[in-house]
Amino acid sequence: MKVIEKIDEMKRLRLKLAESVGFVPTMGYLHQGHLSLVRRARSENQSVIVSIFVNPTQFGPREDFSSYPRDTECDLALLKKERVDVVFIPSADEMYPPQFDSWVVVDKLARRLEGACRPGHFWGVTTVCTKLFNIAQPARAYFGQKDAQQLVVIKKMVSDLNMNLEIVTLPTVREPDGLAISSRNIYLNPGERQAATVLYRALALALQLYAQGETDAERLRQKMIALLQKEPLAEIDYVSIANLRTLDELAKVTSPALVSLAVKIGKTRLIDNIML
């Protein structure tokens, strides 16, 4: 497994790889969710490139960029076990030299939900993904359903800008009690970890009510909010039932609908979603 820090070197090496490259972009601190993407990439491509880059441009000024968990040594050991060919692990200066002045912006979709709570977040995501796609030139890139809006935005960018790759989506990997696996779960103390199950319980409630015939989106939102409010450590950022393609809030649930939520548990902001 080659570990590469420089863009030029990565591009030179890419020329030597076979056509079918699977690419998994990550911010490191790898968990089972990332590894499911890597395994799928391994099974579908001749070569696999994984990037590890905590992208500063997708964090707001008061967000957790400096405290975001990092453990490169452990990440590299995990990726070696998965028979990854190349790990691209650039520095922030390498990706954003001082004169850097170009942004890739998906407009309306990126201003909803996460974009409304975290202004500028998706500018950072779409810009870094474009750079990484240009550098790695993959046939396929792999993303988890856990960051549902990120997926919608990236798919739109790839389609609108005629990018030459396929975006492959894999289901959210969950703990046995339903909590979606995320690098940020490490921030939770034991009490908060227990409280964090409320996100999945709220989603499961929506699923259950929908299965029983409830299609009024506002009633579903209110039931979810009522359940979340019973958890004293939870502070709701948003609860949304939206059209999966446009992210417009729905009055009546028509499939496919994206039920998503962002909730702070103590100081840790968690997101999760399911599809109806």
Which residue numbers are catalytic? 34
Q: Judged by CB under 6 A, does residue 125 bind ligand PAF?
A: yes
Buried b (16+ CB within 10 A) or exposed e, 178-193: bbbbbbbbebbeeebb
Judged by CB under 6 A, does residue 26 bind ligand PAF?
yes
Out of 55, 130, 137, 185, the residue judged to bind ligand PAF by CB under 6 A? 55
Which CB sits closer to ligand PAF, 28 or 259?
28
Nearest to 172 by CA among 32, 53, 27: 32
> Which range binds ligand PAF by CB under 6 A, 90-98, 104-112, 124-132, 165-173?
124-132
Largest CA distance in the chain: 56
Q: Which is nearer to ligand PAF, 47 or 55 (CB)?
A: 55
Structure tokens at 78: 């995990």
Residues 137-156 that bind ligand PAF (CB under 6 A): 147, 150
Joined together, the tokens standing for residue 180 give 């979606």
**Strand 234-243 relative to strand 257-265: parallel, antiparallel, unpaired?**
antiparallel
238 with 222: CB under 8 angstroms?
no
Q: Does 25 bind ligand PAF (CB under 6 A)?
A: yes
Residue in 128, 234, 253, 265 binding ligand PAF, rule: CB under 6 A: 128
Interface segment toward ligand PAF; rule CB under 6 A; list 23-31, 94-102, 166-174, 243-251: 23-31
- Residue 78 or residue 207: which is nearer to ligand PAF going by CB? 78
* CB of 45 or CB of 150, closer to ligand PAF: 150
273 lies in the site for ligand PAF, by CB under 6 A:
no
Residues in binding contact with ligand PAF, number by CB under 6 A: 10
- Alpha helix segments (H runs only) across the chain: 7-16, 32-44, 72-81, 92-95, 113-117, 121-136, 148-160, 190-195, 197-211, 217-229
d(CA 252, CA 245): 15
Nearest to 121 by CA among 52, 184, 63, 185: 63
By the rule CB under 6 A, 57 interacts with ligand PAF: no
Please pick, from the candidates 58, 127, 149, 172, the single residue that binds ligand PAF as defined by CB under 6 A.
Answer: 58
Residue 27 as a binder of ligand PAF (CB under 6 A): the answer is: yes
Q: Which is nearer to ligand PAF, 26 or 253 (CB)?
A: 26
Sheet holding 21-26, edge to edge: 2-4, 86-88, 47-52, 21-26, 140-144, 166-170
Closer CB to ligand PAF, 40 or 221, in the complex? 40
224 binds ligand PAF, rule: CB under 6 A: no
* Count of Cβ atoms closer than 10 Å to residue 247 Cβ: 23
Binding site residues, ligand PAF, CB under 6 A? 25-27, 55, 58, 125, 128-129, 147, 150
